[in-house]
Amino acid sequence: MDYKRVSIVAKPHKEVVKYLNRTIEYLKSKKVKIQLDEVSAKLINYTNFTSRYNIGEDSDLIIVIGGDGTFLSVSKTAILNSVPIAGFNLGTLGFLTELNKEEVEETLEKILTGKAKIFERKVFEFKFKKFNEIAANDIVITKGNIARIINLLLEINGEEITHIRGDGLILSTPTGSTAYSLSAGGPIVSPEVNGIVITPICPHSLTFRPIIIPDNFKVCVTLQSKSDNVFITIDGQKVIPIKKGGKFSVSLFNKTLKIIENQYMNYYKLISEKLNWGMKNGFKLD
């Protein structure tokens, strides 16, 4: 792939400026057209910028310097425009931003010369009233701060499966299985698995456990309890209120999320490192 137009999105953090400047300097040396999102441009007074949420429309590649939240903020525009994302991680935990920030020039050289591997991840389409969204990680329905359980009707392929009473429900892609779903007791699922992870949040009935279903199924969730404090959250980026009787659907989207992979890190090495597998008292076991 020919990367002539590269966009950069960075987390507004003091540490990011160093790596942002290194990235721009390298890309300029390769005669690449560069644009930043507005937040990143303000960090270094860069003049060529555009909206973060539309940045994929005029890009061949999106570079993210930050964490998974920054990555997810541009995932929708990247998916819709079939643009790969290269995520350089600034923090300590990044399942999506898996590239090493200290190797930015080396990594970009491999990308621009076509030597980097692109992994395609399946994503979800979310529909609710006038809302039509894309989720790379998860769709979460949960109550607010009021200490009441909510009642949800779960349907799969038009068939009523069960009523879930608890704090909420997570519908996760395999990519998102290491996010909120994992914290709620869901399984870790390889991105190569074609599945939808359904994870209850603090279910009233302990017999309802997380389940993985085929990703060519359609899942519908209806809020059946009366509450003014229930919300749907898509990838931690967009929050939508839902009232009693509100029903949304989740199904497989017809495009994928393209991620530039770390050449030194496969998925299992990544989760082993991020989750500190093989560690005891802070030390790696032999």
Show the tokens assigned to 119: 């992994």
Whole-Å CA distances, 237 to 63, 107, 191: 19, 28, 21
- What distance in Å separates the CA atoms of residue 150 and residue 188, rounded to the nearest whole number? 26
**Rounded Cα gap, residues 203 and 139, in angstroms:** 17
The long-range contacts involving 262-265, CB below 8 angstroms and separated by at least 24 positions, are 262/98, 262/99, 262/100, 263/110, 263/116, 263/117, 265/98
Residue 30 phi/psi, 5° resolution?
A: -100, 10
Both structure tokens of 270: 């990544």
Identify which of 47, 29, 12, 53 has the alpha carbon closest to the alpha carbon of residue 235.
53
Length of the chain: 286
Q: What residue spans of the chain are helical by DSSP H?
A: 16-29, 38-44, 68-73, 75-80, 104-112, 180-183, 267-274
Active site residues: 68
182: left (phi over 0), alpha (psi -120 to 50) or beta: alpha
Burial of 39 (0-12, 13-18, 19+ CB in 10 A): middle
